[in-house]
Structure 1
Amino acid sequence: MSRRKERELVFKVLFAHEFNPIPLSEQLEFLAEDVENKKRITPYVRKLASLCIEKKDEFDGRIKPKLINWDFERVAVVDRILLRMALAEFLYFEDIPPEVTIDEMIELGKKYGAPKSGRFINGILDSIFKDLKAEKKIKKSGRGLITKIK
């Protein structure tokens, strides 16, 4: 399965979790009842979804200061989830280039969010990424991971 499809599955799980916060293991078990979905629940899917739930407050703490003249609770659920997913990839997935993370979240925002979600997500992630890079919190290794974002 492609990473894009895995991200989309994580997004859907986190969206469901937002409205029905049952344990992640139960949500994944429910999904796995369908044979096709069972194959889609990869280690990447489990790790990304669980990081987004476990580190939600930490991630939100990074997002909130970037919302100039905007209340966090007014940010669309779709956008909040995608921003958290990006933070998890920035900080905990050394093999995923930040540019890929940003592009993927923008695309998911365009698909599932409001008309301006892609632009909103891009602006917030660019700012957060710059902060994380300045704080030396971005640790990437592997091919193609030299970043051009300044």
Structure 2
Amino acid sequence: MKTYRRRIREKIIQALYTIELTGADMDSASDWLITPQIAEDSGAVRFYKQVLQSIQDHKEEIDGYITKHTFNWDMSRIAIIDKNILRMALAELLYFEDIPPKVSINEAIEIAKKFNSTDKSSKFVNGILDATYNDLKSSGKIKKCGRGLINNSSRNTSRSEEKHSTEK
């Protein structure tokens, strides 16, 4: 049975929350969250572990982007849930070429609405991710390719130009 990525993302947030509150290592904090349904879906388990690992491996860089776009906020003042939603979405934006940016951002906003650490969490998450995405896109740090993704537009243009020139 296919496990939907939103459910996996929610489990990722729960694992990150556990790690932050208890100081537990990633494996012990996250393995208990893998339900039998998730365990049956090797793609879901792989996605779950890859996102967690990328956050762990690049936490300083990811937190740097959060800090850059929260201006007058100290990281310790950001609600733990919101901070981890931002970390997850930024990891997807930066390190998962096959996930469209809008999907990562929209999923983060919806999860922020569900977990609702404050009444303005979803707006906060949206604002930070939007600013960070625009910054990353303008600096060329987001490398996305494939159907519906950033670099696809230039490939489609060249394909249509190629097709058009061969038709003449």
TM-score normalised to structure 2 length: 0.79
| Cross-structure match for 2:40 | 39
Question: Is 2:71 the counterpart of 1:83?
Answer: no
Q: CA deviation at 1:70?
A: 2.1
For residue 91 of structure 1, what is the amino acid of its counterpart? L
From the superposition, tell whether residues 96 and 37 of structure 1 become closer, same or farther in structure 2 (CA, over 3 Å): closer
1:127-146 equivalence runs, <5 A: 127-146=131-150
Aligned residues: 146
Q: Return closer, same or farther for 1:3/1:66 CA change in 2, 3 Å cut-off.
A: same
Aligned-partner Cα distance in 2 for 1:29–1:107: 24
Shift of residue 23, structure 1, vs aligned partner: 2.0
Q: Equivalent residues in 2 for 1:99-110 (5 A)?
A: 99-110=102-113
Q: Is the CA contact (8 Å cut-off) linking 1:79 and 1:121 kept in structure 2?
A: yes
Taking structure 1 as the reference length, what is the TM-score of the superposition?
0.88
- Aligned counterparts of 1:76 and 1:8: Cα–Cα separation in 2: 16
**Secondary structure in 2 matching 1:42:** helix
Deviation at 1:38, TM superposition (A): 3.0
User: One-letter code of the match for 1:70?
Assistant: W
Q: Distance in 2 between matches of 1:39 and 1:31?
A: 13
Quote the sequence identity (%): 41
**Structure 2 gap ranges (5+):** 152-168
String of CA shifts for 1:37-71, please: whole Å, max 9, x gaps.
Answer: 53366100000011112211111111112112222
- Gaps of at least 5 residues in structure 1 are none
Query: What is the one-letter code of the residue matched to 2:47?
Result: Y
| Bigger radius of gyration | 2
User: Closer, same or farther in 2 for the Cα pair 1:95/1:69, shift >3 Å?
Assistant: same
Cα distance in 2 between the residues matched to 1:128 and 1:80: 14
Which amino acid letter does the alignment assign opposite residue 52 of structure 2? Answer: A
Deviations 1:103-135 (A, max 9, x none): 000011111121101100111001101111111
Letter in 2 for 1:7: R
Alignment of 1:49-88 (within 5 A): 49-88=52-91
> Matches of 1:74 and 1:107 in 2, distance apart?
22
